[in-house]
Chain A
Amino acid sequence: MLRYTEDHEWINLEGDTATVGISPHAIEQLGDIVFVELPEAGNTVARGDAVAVFESVKAASDIYSPASGEITEVNETMLDDLSSITPDRATESWLFKIKIEDSSELDELMDEDAYKSMIA
C-alpha cells in the first residue's frame, strides 16, 4: 500500500514493515542534493518526527517520518553517490524501513491520485 504525505514523503507498507522515501516531485524541487543525513537503525520514532535531512545547494530540508515505529534498516548505499538521487529513481532512493506500530496511521495519508492532484 503506497501513500504520500503533504510533506512529499512516500511510504509503502508491506506486511508490518514500510519503506519510506521522498517523492519525485520533492527530489526535483530540491535540485542538486549535496548531503543526506539518515536516521539510525534501531531508533524508535513517532509520526511527524524529523528523522532525516536533505541538503541541496540552496537549502536544508527535514524529512518527517510518516508513521510511528522502529527504524529497521537505512539505505546507506544512496550516500555513495548523491547524484544518483534523481526524480526517476525515487523508489531506489528510499531512505529507511520502519516496523509500523499502528497501520491505521496511514489511513490519513494520500493515495497516489490525491498526491498527484495536490502537486498539480
Chain B
Amino acid sequence: MESSRTPLHDFHLAHGARMVPFAGWDMPVQYADGIRAEHLATRASTGLFDVSHMAQVWLTGPGAGAMLERLTPTDTGAIAEGRVRYSLFLNDAGGVLDDLMIARHNDILQLVVNAGRADHDIGLLRASLDSSVTMDVRSDLALLALQGPASPQVLARLGGDLDGFTFMQIRNMTLAGTECVVTRSGYTGEDGFEISMPASHAPDLASAIAADADVTLAGLGARDTLRLEAGLPLWGHELDESITPIAAGLRFALSKRRREAGDFPGAATIMAEWNNGTARILTGLLPQGGRPVRDGAELALDGKTVGAVTSGGFAPTLDAPAALGFVDAGLAAPGTNLMAVVRGRETPVVTAALPLVPHRYVRN
C-alpha cells in the first residue's frame, strides 16, 4: 500500500530528509546532520518536527464530554476552555488502547491521537457516537511541533501571543500570517508548542519557522530519543492493551472524580492497582559499558527474569545508552543493578528514576 504523505513531504525532501515508512506514512527520520545533532539542537535551542501524521479529531455537541468519559478516565467537565489534558483510551481489563491529548477550544473537544492507532481510535470513537455528538476527522489540518528552550522566542518573532500562555493550554495565534491553533505541549520534555493549521498553509509556515536561526529541523529519530530521555511512553512499547496506566506510571491521567466514581473502562482493575500496586512497573534503565540495549531485551537478576526492555537506544543528552522497561515492583528503586540479555549476552543495567533528563515545562 502506498504510504500517505504529509503536506510537508516536498519540504522534507528539499531539506535533505531521509524518508522512512512509519505507521503508513512516509516520514523524515532525520535530516542531513543526523539524529544526535537534531536532538542536541532541540535541547539547546529549538527543533521543528512535522507531526502531521497524527490524527486530529474534533468532537462537538452536548454529549461530547460524556462520550469521551465512556472511553477514558478523564473528567472532561474539568477541562476548562483553553486547557489541554493527557488522556488514555482504556479497555475493560484496564489496558491502554492508545494515549491522546484532549483540548477544549471554542467549546470543541479537540483530540490528537497517534498515527499508528488513528484507524483504531477513530473506529472506537465512531462506535461510541450518538445523536448528541458530531465527529469531524480533520485530515485537512497539518500539525507542527516546535520544541526546545528557544521555542517561545521563535514563536514570538513569528507574531505569536504568549502572554499568560503556559503548559497544557491552547489558543489561537496568527503566525507569519497564518491562523493557527497552538497548544503549549509536546513529546520531548522541553518547553514547546504544537501548532495546528490548514494543510495548505503548512509549507509556507514551516519555511518561515525554519528560516529562524534558532530552529533546526528534526525528524522522527530525534523525536524518539528525546521522548526516551523524557520518560514519555510510546504506544506499542510502554503502553498497550495489556499494560495498565498504573504500571506505566500514569496515575496523573486518572481524574479524581473518575477515580472516586470508578466509572471508567477497567476501573476495577486499575483502582485495585492504584491502592495495592502492580507486579511490574515502568522504570528508566542506564546500560553500563557503552552498549545500548533495545526493545525486547530480557531483564534478569541472578539468572531469573525480572522484566523486559520496551524502548532502548542512545541518549544524546546523557551521551550514553538509555532505555525504558518494566521490572518487578520490588526491584524498581533507582540504583538497582540488573542484567539485560542482549543478543545472547549480558549487559549490566542500573535502574534510574524517570525522567532521565528533567522536564522543563513552563507551568503557571
Where the two chains meet, the residues of A that have a C-beta atom closer than 8 Å to any C-beta of B are 31-32, 34-35, 37, 53, 55-60
Contact = CB atoms under 8 A, between A and B. Distances in A.
A35 B292 contact: yes
Interface in B132-160: none
A109 B183 CA distance: 55
A34 B314 CA distance: 7
Nearest to A82: B290
Nearest to B225: A57
B35 A35 contact: no
A34 B225 CA distance: 13
A31 B35 contact: yes
Interface in B17-68: 29-30, 34-36
A35 B294 CA distance: 13
Main secondary structure of the interface of B (DSSP, over half): mixed
Given A32-B316, A35-B321, 5 more contacts: A32-B34, A32-B35, A34-B321, A57-B35, A59-B294
13 contacts: A31-B34, A31-B35, A32-B34, A32-B36, A32-B314, A32-B316, A34-B314, A55-B292, A57-B221, A57-B225, A58-B221, A59-B294, A60-B294
The 10 A-B residue pairs with the shortest CB-CB distance, nearest first, are: A32-B36, A34-B314, A57-B314, A57-B35, A35-B291, A35-B290, A55-B292, A32-B34, A31-B34, A57-B313
Contacts of B290: 34-35
Contacts, number: 40
A60 B343 contact: yes
Contact of A58 (B291, B313, B321, B343): B313
Nearest to B37: A32
Interface in B245-268: none
Contacts of B34: 31-32, 57
A60 to B, nearest CB: 6
Contacts of A31: 30, 34-35, 221
A37 to B, nearest CB: 7
Contacts of A59: 294
Contacts of B313: 57-58
A60 B36 contact: no
